[in-house]
């Protein structure tokens, strides 16, 4: 899931309710981010600062803020680990 960065809480709550998958989210000073960081049932990966998105034209594009990937479930955790994008906790 890659929700709009401006509406993190709404999408975070839906993701937690769904209880399966991987979410890309901005690092934030909000309560929903604090919840993500402190949950025991989530696996969290913070990619390197050089993390880039790829535009539809195939060209890489840097992003303006740090992001995390977080997963619920064993399959999501395994995908994060195999991605080699960073340490998973």
Mean pLDDT on 69-86: 94
Which tokens hold the place of 72? 């619920």
Gyration radius of the chain over CA positions: 13
Which tokens hold the place of 11? 């999408």
Residues 21, 49, 38: CA angle, nearest 5 degrees: 45
Mean pLDDT on 76-85: 94
Give every CB contact of residue 49 below 8 A, 6+ residues apart in sequence: 66
User: What is residue 32's predicted lDDT score, i.e. its pLDDT?
Assistant: 87
pLDDT digits (tens, 9 = 90+) for 12-52: 999 999 999 999 998 888 888 888 889 889 999 999 877 88
User: What is residue 4's predicted lDDT score, i.e. its pLDDT?
Assistant: 86
Nearest to 5 by CA among 64, 45, 57, 56: 64
């Amino acid at each position: 899931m890659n929700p709009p960065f401006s509406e993190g809480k709404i999408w975070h709550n839906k993701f937690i309710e769904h209880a399966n998958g991987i979410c890309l989210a901005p690092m934030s000073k909000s309560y929903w981010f604090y919840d993500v960081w402190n949950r025991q049932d989530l696996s969290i990966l913070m990619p390197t600062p050089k993390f880039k998105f790829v535009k539809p034209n195939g060209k890489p594009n840097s992003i303006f803020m740090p992001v995390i990937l977080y997963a619920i479930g064993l399959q999501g955790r395994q995908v994060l680990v195999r991605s080699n994008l960073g340490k998973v906790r």
